[in-house]
Structure 1
Amino acid sequence: MAVDPIGEDLKAFLAADPDGPVVMLNLLRFAEGGRESYARYGAALRKTFLPRYGGEVLYAGDGGPALVAEQGQEWDAVLLVRYPSRTAFSRMVADPEYQEVSRWRTLALEEAVLQPTIPWAGK
């Protein structure tokens, strides 16, 4: 299963609205023992990379039992992270220092969804 964005997906992501703010939805399913590795990644993200690129964690929490979902669609954790622009997010994931620590994220996850969200008009 894919857990990291790839080049073609990032190009399409940037083409949508490179300068507008974006909130990234993260749905995470941890590999065996992955929470510790993800915590290490998360600490580096909050300490170094979010401040460097203007990002902010809006919400982070554990997933509970799904009320409406197909079998196997529950997630271990959910995060919402706001970035000032899609360009800022892309620059962060291209940063060589970020790529070094993102390996902890890759090792931590069995499956993930990373989806940009767009605010509804007037909200």
Structure 2
Amino acid sequence: MAVDPDKAVLDTFATHGPDGPFVMLNLLRFTPDGRPSYEEYSRRAAVLLSRYGGELLYAGDGATPLVAGEGQTWDAVLLVRYPSREAFSSMVTDPEYQQITGLRTRALSEAVLQPTAPWASRPGSRPS
């Protein structure tokens, strides 16, 4: 399973999609001894995240899902806000970031990085 986006995916992401801030959903499944490596990655990546205007909104352990297909349980969930697609792309291509990506890659057996876009407000309507 993939844990890192490839260059073609990053290039498409950077040039296609809405401008402005977005939140990245991170679903993470650790290798048997991967959590310490991911924690080290997180500590070091926090400096870069701040440098590029990003913000960790939430990080927590996954719990037993109430609704999910087989194999859709996750060890950790993170929500990270970025000011723009350009900021995200610049961060992940920064040479300093590239030096720490091995920590993340070794830590994970599977991952989902899902960019999200806010729903447009509609008077009198709420998502259910």
TM range (shorter): over 0.9
Please report how far the alpha carbon of residue 15 of structure 1 lies from its aligned counterpart in structure 2 after TM superposition: 2.0
User: Any stretches of 5+ residues in structure 1 without a counterpart?
Assistant: none
Residue aligning to 2:88: 89
TM-score (normalizing by structure 2): 0.91
Secondary structure at 1:78 match in 2: strand
Decide whether the 8 Å contact of 1:20 with 1:85 is kept in 2. yes
Larger radius of gyration: 2
* Alignment RMSD (CA, Å): 1.3
Relative to its length, the structure with more helix (as a share) is: 1
> Where in structure 1 do 4 or more consecutive aligned residues deviate above 4 Å?
none
**What do residues 8-61 of structure 1 show as CA deviations (whole Å, max 9, x unaligned)?**
111221122364111111000000100000000000111x11111000001100
Which amino acid is 2:44 matched to? A
Partner of residue 79, structure 1 = 78
Give CA deviations for 1:73-115 in whole Å, capped at 9, x if unaligned: 1000000000000000000000011011111000000000001
- State the shift of 1:2 in Å: 0.5
1:5 aligns with 2:5: yes
**Is the contact between residue 18 and residue 87 of structure 1 (CA under 8 Å) also seen in structure 2?**
no
Which is worse superposed, 35-44 or 11-20? Answer: 11-20
Give the letter for the 2:42 counterpart.
Answer: G
> Aligned-pair distance for 1:5?
1.0
TM-score, with structure 1 as normaliser? 0.94
Worse-matched range after superposition: 11-20 or 86-95: 11-20
- Aligned positions of 1:29-108 closer than 5 A: 29-46=29-46, 48-108=47-107
- Measured in 1, the distance between the counterparts of 2:2 and 2:70 equals 20
Identical positions, percent: 63
The number of equivalent residue pairs is 122
